[in-house]
């Protein structure tokens, strides 16, 4: 696929949304949204990056001058402007706000109605952008951009399939190590190493970096963790250098990101034996999972998928432990719109990617929560995380 064509298609679709909303300029600042419209990750976000999108005309990637050489090599959006001073990289202004003023005026848009993804802007940046563009306020367009990212295009789907190959290898290795008697931490270490090897052998033309913040960059997003015992109810937990004990529930988790796009693979296991109550919990979760998968097809709503799991939970006597959701959208971030939850009466459409993770979790007994990443197709779904599943024993 032609990367530049994909990026231009994304921009043109968003420009149509801008016109519908009465906006004539967007100043995009959130790191994942800058990436969505450029396919470029600056890695370090200590100096702000922006994409300026007019309702009509050519969008522009605006970066600090130090990012010039890298963006010239890697950005899918080829109209790149720089601000600040670094080496002999040419810039249009001494700082980002002056550059925004210059670029904004160059579009000759007349009276401006400007949108920005306000959740990522500091109040100071908000005021300076308003001053630079001579407007009183900015309209929040975070939701508009999130809607655009809900249906994955060919580029996104291809990368998520590749990320799944890496993540599945990591999960297979982690389960094998746990069954061989490894500690949580040792199994995680081996899973990470396996993922790095698969990346190197098959997909090294893509980076595995995450989207950082002004405080830190994220150089590696082939990640794994594991918990056991009551800690499986925590939802998220760091691995410890302990061997899961007999009778424990165990929750290994893989998040693999490739070329900016993530998949999630989680599995639930038990060690040697389970008491009757926790075995009923496990069986109920697997039954709920199977019900949800049978229901996945275009036209079904996320709320209806939730109801499929809820029905099983309540029928088996676990109504008091109902989760708030049983899955979520996934893509450039680990949790995206929409949620598989009662309030989301959004119909499934081909190209949507989300997790299926009905779970029962309580500090009284631990947690069972396998999670799979699925792609909605024209007739049903494609399972991206196809590692061993079910009632898994160690």
Please give the pLDDT value at position 216.
Answer: 78
Please give the pLDDT value at position 164.
Answer: 98
| Residue 283 parent element (H or E) | helix 276-295
Please give the pLDDT value at position 110.
Answer: 83
Instruction: Provide the 10 A C-beta neighbour count for residue 12.
Output: 11
Please give the pLDDT value at position 109.
Answer: 87
Please give the pLDDT value at position 214.
Answer: 81
For residues 116 and 138, the answer to whether their CB atoms sit within 8 Å is yes
pLDDT digits (tens, 9 = 90+) for 264-319: 999 999 999 999 999 999 999 999 999 999 999 999 999 999 999 999 999 999 99
For residues 37 and 124, the answer to whether their CB atoms sit within 8 Å is no
- By residue count, the chain amounts to 394
Residues 6+ apart with CB under 8 A from 88: none
For residues 181 and 271, the answer to whether their CB atoms sit within 8 Å is no
- Written in H, E and C, the secondary structure of 295-346 is HCCCCCEHHHHHHHHHHHHHHCCCHHHCCCCCCEECCCCCCEEEECCCCCCC
Residues 6+ apart with CB under 8 A from 73: none
For residues 218 and 209, the answer to whether their CB atoms sit within 8 Å is yes
Please tell me the chain's helix, strand, coil percentages from 3-state DSSP, rounded to the nearest 5: 40, 20, 40
Residue 123 to residues 91, 127, 128, Cα–Cα distance (Å): 25, 6, 9
CA–CA separation, 204 and 26 (whole Å): 34
In which residue ranges of the chain is pLDDT below 70?
Answer: none
Residue 46, CB half-sphere, CA atoms under 13 Å: how many?
Answer: 7
CA–CA separation, 173 and 190 (whole Å): 7
CA–CA separation, 213 and 190 (whole Å): 28
Please give the pLDDT value at position 321.
Answer: 87
Tokens for 133? 């563009």
CA–CA separation, 394 and 44 (whole Å): 41
Please give the pLDDT value at position 292.
Answer: 98
R_g (Cα) of the chain, nearest Å: 23
Please give the pLDDT value at position 192.
Answer: 98
Closest-CA residue to 26 (of 94, 121, 91): 121
For residues 269 and 252, the answer to whether their CB atoms sit within 8 Å is yes
Sequence-separated contacts (24+) of 231-239 with Cβ below 8 Å: 231/366, 232/268, 232/361, 232/366, 232/367, 232/368, 232/369, 233/361, 233/362, 233/363, 233/365, 233/366, 233/367, 234/367, 235/361, 235/367, 239/183, 239/184, 239/185, 239/187, 239/188
């Amino acid at each position: 696929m032609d990367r530049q064509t994909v990026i231009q298609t994304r921009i043109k679709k968003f420009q149509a949304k801008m016109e519908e909303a009465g906006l004539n300029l967007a100043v995009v600042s959130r790191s994942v949204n800058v990436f969505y419209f450029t396919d470029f990750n600056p890695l370090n976000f200590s100096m702000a990056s922006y994409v300026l999108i007019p309702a009509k005309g050519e969008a522009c990637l605006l970066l600090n001058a130090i990012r010039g050489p890298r963006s010239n090599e890697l950005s899918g959006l080829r109209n790149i402007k720089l601000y600040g001073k670094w080496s002999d990289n040419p810039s249009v202004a001494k700082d980002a706000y002056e550059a925004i003023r210059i670029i904004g005026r160059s579009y000759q848009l007349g009276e401006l109605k400007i949108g920005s993804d306000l959740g990522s802007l500091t109040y100071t940046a908000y005021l300076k952008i308003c001053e630079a563009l001579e407007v009183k306020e900015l309209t929040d367009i975070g939701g508009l951009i999130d809607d655009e990212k809900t249906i994955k295009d060919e580029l996104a789907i291809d990368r998520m399939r590749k990320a799944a190959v890496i993540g599945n290898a990591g999960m297979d290795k982690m389960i094998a190590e746990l069954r061989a008697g490894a500690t949580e931490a040792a199994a995680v270490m081996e899973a990470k190493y396996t993922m790095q090897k698969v990346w190197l052998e098959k997909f090294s033309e893509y980076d595995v970096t995450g989207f950082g913040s002004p405080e830190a960059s994220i150089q590696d997003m082939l990640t794994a963790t594991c918990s056991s015992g009551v800690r499986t109810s925590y939802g998220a937990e760091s691995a410890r250098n302990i061997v899961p004990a007999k009778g424990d529930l165990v929750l290994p988790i893989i998040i693999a990101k490739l070329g900016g796009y993530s998949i999630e693979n989680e599995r639930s296991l038990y060690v040697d034996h389970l008491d009757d109550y926790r075995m009923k919990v496990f069986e109920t979760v697997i039954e709920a999972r199977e019900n949800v998968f049978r229901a996945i097809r275009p036209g079904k709503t996320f709320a209806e998928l939730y109801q499929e799991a809820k029905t099983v939970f309540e029928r088996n006597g676990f109504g008091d432990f109902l989760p708030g959701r049983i899955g979520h959208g996934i893509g450039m971030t680990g949790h995206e719109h929409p949620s598989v939850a009662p309030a989301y009466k959004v119909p499934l459409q081909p190209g949507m990617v989300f997790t299926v993770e009905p779970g029962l979790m309580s500090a009284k007994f631990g947690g069972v929560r396998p999670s799979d990443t699925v792609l909605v197709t024209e007739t049903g779904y494609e399972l991206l995380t196809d590692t061993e599943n079910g009632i898994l024993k160690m």
